[in-house]
């Protein structure tokens, strides 16, 4: 009899733990459904753009000079005589097995093309986000701790310019000033023309490949070419990251526990970095994830300006030659990466922030 209450408590505890396990399994499941649904939605949109929006999708693939036989054959091959919903499932099946069709301008499978150009974009966007984080976060913190100071004003202005300056225009002005005018950086392209094709593509990232090959000349040359476009991308993420860091920090610095820490005589540096900055690092992960995804998108315009052979350049070239398979493939890949980065930062936020776990 005396044991009853404690057994009951133990049982309650066990059932609580079990409940929690079921709950978290259920939330993982729900999350997986949301992610799958979003990807299916992305596919539905690209399918819609490719097959429903053009008045004649066959014409947009074979071109208007094709003979009647070629036209009919393409129509059959594309399965356009079948109902839309069947076509959609066929399309989903193709994409899942890695078949994005052939590009009419390069004559190769779109998947191969994309695998070849993607590392160039990844390299540029990654250097860009590093610049944005390394400069943006400290700037935001200083702006919050020195409200109204010159650096606070600078960040305000940068934030506004980040919203109102066209990336392609900044790229052109950057080329005119830093390449043609001052000669500080190398011009368009990934490396100088005589280094082109010397590297074995292992990762496709020139900075990594050149180190693997021990070709330091190429490494410095690639870095030289990368600096300007990556800095311009970095500027846009810097503007956003600094502004968000500032506002998160201001939130924290206004909290009572920060005042308590100060009253206790904790040094100002410790108050700022340990008490105020520590809690916002989780929010910052989301912000950094979002701006990384945005950089992949922004690279489309920058790549066009800098003749950077990445996915953005591939997409715009395909747009101008009406190469629909290539357009849709590139859209799909950029969209999927964009969604994935967003969802990963979502998951990280949930794992790191106990309050968001439920």
The residues of the shown chain that bind another protein, judged by CB under 8 A, are: 37-38, 41-42, 44-46, 49-50, 53-54, 60, 160-161, 163-169, 172-173, 175-176, 180, 247, 293-294, 296-298, 300-301, 304-305, 315-316, 318-320, 322, 324, 327-328, 330-331, 334-335, 338-339, 342
What's the min distance (Å) between Cβ of 15 and another protein?
31
Residue whose CB is less far from another protein, 127 or 333:
333
Residue whose CB is less far from another protein, 110 or 261:
110
What's the min distance (Å) between Cβ of 147 and another protein?
14
**How crowded is residue 231: how many other Cβ atoms within 10 Å of its Cβ?**
19
Residue whose CB is less far from another protein, 185 or 318:
318
Residue whose CB is less far from another protein, 49 or 74:
49
Q: What is the 3-state secondary structure (H, E, C) of the chain?
A: CCCHHHHHHHHHHHHHHHHHHHHHHHHHHHHHHHHHHHHHHHHHHHHHHHHHCCCCHHHHHHCCCCCHHHHHHHHHHCCCCCCHHHHHHHHHHHHHCCCCCECCCCCCEHHHHHHHHHHHHHHHHHHHHHHHHHHHHHHHHHHHHCCCCHHHHHHHHHHHHHHHCCHHHHHHHHHHHHHHHCCCCCCCCCCCHHHCCCCCCCCCCHHHHHHHHCCHHHHHHHHHHHHHHHHHHHHHHHHHHHHHHHHHHHHHHCCHHHHHHHHCCCCHHHHHHHHHHHHHHHHHHHHHHHHHHHHHHHHHHHHHHHCCCCHHHHHHHHHHCCCHHHHHHHHHHHHHHHHHHHHHHHHHHHHHCHHHCC
What's the min distance (Å) between Cβ of 67 and another protein?
23
What's the min distance (Å) between Cβ of 3 and another protein?
48
Residue whose CB is less far from another protein, 63 or 208:
63
Residue whose CB is less far from another protein, 46 or 210:
46
What's the min distance (Å) between Cβ of 294 and another protein?
8
Closest residue by Cα to residue 229 from 163, 309, 160, 286: 309
What's the min distance (Å) between Cβ of 246 and another protein?
10
Residue whose CB is less far from another protein, 149 or 307:
307
What's the min distance (Å) between Cβ of 186 and another protein?
15
Residue whose CB is less far from another protein, 19 or 37:
37
What's the min distance (Å) between Cβ of 1 and another protein?
51
């Amino acid at each position: 009899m005396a044991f009853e209450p404690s057994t009951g408590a133990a049982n309650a505890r066990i059932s609580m733990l079990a409940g929690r396990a079921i709950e978290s399994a259920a939330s993982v499941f729900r999350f997986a459904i949301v992610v799958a649904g979003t990807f299916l939605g992305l596919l539905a949109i690209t399918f819609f753009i490719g097959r429903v929006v053009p008045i004649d999708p066959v014409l947009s693939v074979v071109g208007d000079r094709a003979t009647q036989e070629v036209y009919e054959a393409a129509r059959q091959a594309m399965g356009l005589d079948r109902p839309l919903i069947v076509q959609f499932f066929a399309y989903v099946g193709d994409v899942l097995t890695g078949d994005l069709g052939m590009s009419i301008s390069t004559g190769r499978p779109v998947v191969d093309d994309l695998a070849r150009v993607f590392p160039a974009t990844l390299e540029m966007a990654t250097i860009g986000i590093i610049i944005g984080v390394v400069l943006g976060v400290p700037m935001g913190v200083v702006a919050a701790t020195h409200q109204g100071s010159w650096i606070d004003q600078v960040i305000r202005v940068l934030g506004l310019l980040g919203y109102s300056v066209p990336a392609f225009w900044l790229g052109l002005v950057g080329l005119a000033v830093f390449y043609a005018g001052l000669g500080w950086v190398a011009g368009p392209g990934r490396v100088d023309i005589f280094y082109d094709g010397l590297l074995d593509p292992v990762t496709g990232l020139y900075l990594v490949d050149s180190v693997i090959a021990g070709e330091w000349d190429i490494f410095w040359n690639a870095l030289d070419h990368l600096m300007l476009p990556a800095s311009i991308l970095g500027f846009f993420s810097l503007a956003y990251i600094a502004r968000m860091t500032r506002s998160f920090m201001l939130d924290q610095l206004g909290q009572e526990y920060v005042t308590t820490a100060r009253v206790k005589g904790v040094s100002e540096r410790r108050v700022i970095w340990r008490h105020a900055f520590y809690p916002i690092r989780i929010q910052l992960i989301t912000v950094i994830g979002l701006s990384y995804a945005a950089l992949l998108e922004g690279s489309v315009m920058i790549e066009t300006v800098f003749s950077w052979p990445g996915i953005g350049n591939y997409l715009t070239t395909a747009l101008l030659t009406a190469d629909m398979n290539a357009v849709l493939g590139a859209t799909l890949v950029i969209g999927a990466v964009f969604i994935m980065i967003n969802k990963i930062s979502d998951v990280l936020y949930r794992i790191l922030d106990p309050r968001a776990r439920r």
